[in-house]
Each structure stands twice: as structure tokens, then as C-alpha cells.
Amino acid sequence: MKYILIAVLVIAVLLIVCKKILKKKRREKLVSKKFDEKWLLILKDNMPVYQHLPPPLQKQLQGLINIFIDEKYFEGFEGIEITDDIKVTIAGQACLLLLNRKTSLYKKLHSIYIYPTAYVSQVETFTPEGIGKTERSVRAGESWQGGTVVLSWDDVQRGAYGYQDGSNVTLHEFAHQLDQADGVSDGAPILTKPSQYISWAKILGEEYKILRHKDERGKKTFLDKYGATKPAEFFAVATEFYFEKPNKFYKKHPELYEQLQDFYKVDPREWL
């Protein structure tokens, strides 16, 4: 019986190793695959920032998009049909957050649900006494820890076309996916080195407190005040502004900008 169990364990380990090797080879093939000409036109039309990327990053983004579309499942709701327009536009923006970084390519993410416009979601809230209640909330997007991103196609397009306005629902929700990769939605994604968490907590924690302070007093802020609701939203909002308004971001919040630059490994100021 003992040897049977050992054999079963060995087979299980071999299967896991083989699965990883096959996945790596499949991804390498997708990265080297010639990018579809129709997809390239979609990128150029729907994602203006693409044409400002240097050629090496354009090539890198194409490879990531190939993998993303191959591995992730898209599903339409309320009559919307999933097209290449939808897949490439969303994949392009989602993968913008992965450039120049060692990535598992949203390992926990398996599904992207698409609604034609803003949709109604049931949200559970709690009173100060701890009593739970369910409320209806109109949403442009959501990120679930179970591995799903929900998006409004109208809002996706608005965010892609209106690049540089600091509002991009796709970047926002996929920043949440990065944050949730460790199983906790707390505004702290998985960082490269343990030592980075100290400066991350210090700088983002202080900036979050400042934003909350200004919001409570009705003062004008550069970052969207939605980021003052909780640390997870602060990271997602900061990500939107980092990629869409990098020059002004750096002038207003240089330390925060550098912290995000250290994480994302790209400097959007060079593109815009």
C-alpha cells in the first residue's frame, strides 16, 4: 500500500510538471506567432496609446494579447455578441499593466463578462451596527476574487478612446486583479522583493490618508476621490492616473509615481 501511494504521488507530480512544460511551450508559440492583421487594426483604432509605444513594447504587447485571448473566456450578457473588437480592446488594455514584468498573466483570472452598457449589481453592505443588507448598484465594472472581471463595453470603449483623461474602467478592474492575486484586496499587489512592501505601505499609506483628508474636507484633488474609499480603490485609481496622466501625476505626486514605476516597470511619460 505504501508503494502504491508513493507511485500515485510521483505520477501526480509528473503530471503537474508536464502540464507546466506544455503551458510554457504553448505560450512561447503564441508569443512568437505573427499578430493577426485585423487585430492590429483594432489595436490602432481602439487603443490610441498603442501607437505611442516603442516597437519592442508593441511586440511584447502583441504576444501578451495572443496568450490572454487564448487562455481567458469571454461571455456576453444582455444580448451583446463577443467580437474580436471586444476581445482585443480589453486584452490590450489589461496586458498594458504587464509589460516588462515577469508575469503569470492574471493566473487566477478565467472569465471576462461583458455587458453592453452599465449594469445593475446586487451589493451587500453593512450598517454601523453590523446588520447586512443588499442594495442595487449601477456599475461600469467589477473584479471578483474568484477569477472574474465584469465590464460594460460602452465604458471600456470610452476609457480606451479617451486616453489621458484619467478614467479607464479596464485598467481599474485589472489593477484590482493584480491586487487580488495574493487572495486579499488591500491595495498591495505581489511585489518582487519583500523589502519593497515597507516603502509601498509607507508611501501609498500616506498618500491614501492625504486623499481621504482632502475628500472629507471637500478640497480639490488630482487623483479621483473614489480612491479615498479604501486602499484597494486607491491603488486602482492611482493605476488609471499613472498610465493616463503620467506627466501631471509625477509633478503632483513624485514619490507615489516612482513607487508605481518600480512596480509596473514602464514609464508612461515616455509614451505621451
Asked if 32 contacts 63 with a C-beta cutoff of 8 angstroms, the reply is yes
| Residue ranges covered by each domain of the chain | 186-272
Distance CA 186, CA 180 (A): 8
**Which CATH number is 186-272 given?**
3.40.390.10
What pLDDT is attached to residue 166? 80
**Mean pLDDT for the chain?**
90
Higher pLDDT residue, 194 or 53? 53
Summarised one tens digit per residue, pLDDT across range 86-122 is 999 999 999 999 999 988 899 999 999 999 999 888 7
| Residues 6+ away with beta carbon under 8 Å from 116 | 78, 79, 80, 152, 153, 154
Share of the chain above pLDDT 70, in %: 88
Give Rg (Cα) of the chain: 20
Angle at 238 between CA 164 and CA 262, to 5 degrees: 100
Q: What is the mean pLDDT of residues 146-158?
A: 95
**The predicted structure's pLDDT at residue 96:** 97
HSE-up (13 A, CA, CB side) for residue 201: 7
Question: Contact 132/125 with Cβ under 8 angstroms?
Answer: yes
**Percent of all residues in the chain with a pLDDT value above 90, rounded to a whole number:** 72
Quick check: 39 pLDDT over 60? yes
Question: Given this model, what pLDDT does residue 205 score?
Answer: 95
pLDDT of 236 > 60? The answer is: yes
Alpha carbons 231 and 179: distance in angstroms, whole number: 10
Pairing between strand 111-115 and 73-76? Answer: parallel
pLDDT tens per residue across span 64-87:
999 999 999 999 999 999 999 999
List beta partners, residue 112.
74, 149
Under the banding of pLDDT at 50, 70 and 90, the label for residue 178 is: very high
Treating both helix axes as pointing N-terminal to C-terminal, what angle do 231-244 and 169-179 enclose, rounded to 10 degrees? 130
Angle at 144 between CA 142 and CA 145, to 5 degrees: 150
Q: Residue 36: name the closest of 81, 74, 70, 72 by CA.
A: 70
SS3 160: helix
Q: Please state, in angstroms and rounded to a whole number, the distance separating the CA atoms of residues 19 and 82.
A: 29
Instruction: Kindly indicate the confidence band of residue 25, based on its pLDDT and cuts at 50, 70 and 90.
Output: confident
Retrieve residue 229's grid coordinates: 474609499
What pTM, to 2 d.p., does this model score? 0.89
What's the burial of 236, exposed, middle or buried (CB within 10 Å: 0-12/13-18/19+)?
A: buried
Give residue 199's Cα distance to chain centre.
22
